[in-house]
Amino acid sequence: MARCGAVRSGKVWCGWLRFVMNILVTGGTGSFGTAFMKAALGWPDVERLVCYSRDEHKQQRLHAELGDDPQDRLRFFLGDVRDQQRLQMALHGISHCVHGAALKVVPWLEYNPSEGLKTNTLGAMHLVDAAIQVGVGAVVALSTDKAVSPVNLYGASKLAAEKLFLAANALGGGRCRFTAVRYGNVTGSTGSVVPLWRAKAKADEGLPLTDDRMTRFWMSMDEAVELVRKALIDGCGGEVLIPKLPSYRVTDLAEAVWREQNPTSEWRAKYKAIGIRPGEKLHESLVSEDEWPWTYDCGTHYEVVHVANGGPGGRSVDATVSGRRVPDGFKYRSDENERWLTKAELQQRLLAIP
């Protein structure tokens, strides 16, 4: 991480130098939550792992999928992030929290903006208040590229949530650290275009494509889980972690999916342009050009440091940042990236997506 040196937030030491974590995951039955729960069960430093979500059927399926834990670390807690009292009850005894609960389907939230605000923004506020009241050591919130210069309700609601989490570091008295991670859509997660395209390609039908100029960042679920684990353990509070990722052209992904389902065909996918949807961008941005004064290159990732932690005047962080400040005017966009995936590389990466 960029700051803090040897200081670590929310760590619990038990016995003879044994580091343990009691983790609660909001949105624990979503794509990320499920992957995180599976991975965390394999970590020796996890003493308790709590899934917090509002869908009992998904919890039942996840419990069956995970099976019985010999160490009896698993807990399933029905609740909604809109309910602060329920959150506060669930957080008792928790040292680390991962906030993944969100409503995120862009067109649906454009039509139902109040529901997006209730879950994504007010839910974030409830979690902040509950975590401070209970004394959770570290909270890591999942943000999104759509929070950067937002053009839709989902992005605007997540930008507000991101600001709430980072500003909360001034309220926790140093006992509760709030960090955010920001990345684009994880390929293969819920809502991903890959399953739809696979079915269309297998049926020799045209792949629906919004705009053939579109570019995106590629991030795997394993990379997303590892980034959150890093933030949980090393997060100092008040920073946004942004991974360095390769870009790809959406038309190239369409070609890779088509070739995957039709191995003997040429690199010539059938696709049809359906037009860009309301609230959709041609290219992803993970760091806006307005954020460069507070952005640092930390080698494997960038960090945007929240300047409000020291009050209205902000504070200088140069002395405590191990990374280097990015150049003036820096921005991180999928269409201006240095790293690009080829069609063959995309096809290889598709093998890891069920």
pLDDT in tens, the chain (354 residues): 545 543 343 344 343 334 689 999 999 999 999 999 999 999 988 999 999 999 999 999 999 999 888 888 999 999 999 999 999 999 999 999 999 999 988 889 999 999 999 999 999 999 999 999 999 999 999 999 999 999 999 999 999 999 999 999 888 777 889 999 998 878 767 667 888 888 888 888 888 888 889 999 999 899 999 999 999 988 888 899 999 999 999 999 988 888 888 887 776 777 778 888 777 889 999 999 899 989 999 998 999 987 655 444 444 444 445 788 999 999 999 999 999 999 999 988 888 887
Q: What is the CATH number of the domain that holds 327?
A: 3.40.50.720
Q: Which of 104, 118, 146, 272 is catalytic?
A: 146
Tell me the whole-structure pTM to 2 decimals.
0.87
Q: Please give the distance of CA 290 from its chain centroid, rounded to a whole number.
A: 21
- Has 270 been annotated as catalytic? no
C-alpha span between 232 and 140 (Å, rounded): 6
The amino acid sitting at 326 is V
Domain total in the chain = 1
Structural domain harbouring 177: 12-190+219-245+287-332
In a domain, 99, yes or no: yes
Q: Any idea what the Cα angle at residue 84 is, between residues 82 and 88, rounded to 5°? A: 135
Q: Any idea what the Cα angle at residue 80 is, between residues 77 and 86, rounded to 5°? A: 65
User: What would the two tokens of residue 116 be?
Assistant: 């997006």
In a domain, 107, yes or no: yes
In a domain, 352, yes or no: no
User: What would the two tokens of residue 68 be?
Assistant: 């019985």
In a domain, 197, yes or no: no
Q: How far is CA 347 from CA 112, 188, 339, in A?
A: 36, 13, 16
**Residue whose token pair is 């090393």:** 234
C-alpha span between 156 and 124 (Å, rounded): 13
| DSSP code for 306 | P
Taking the CB of residue 183, how many other CB atoms lie within 10 A of it? 22
C-alpha span between 191 and 195 (Å, rounded): 9
C-alpha span between 21 and 28 (Å, rounded): 16
In a domain, 343, yes or no: no
In a domain, 342, yes or no: no
C-alpha span between 179 and 114 (Å, rounded): 26
Taking the CB of residue 102, how many other CB atoms lie within 10 A of it? 24
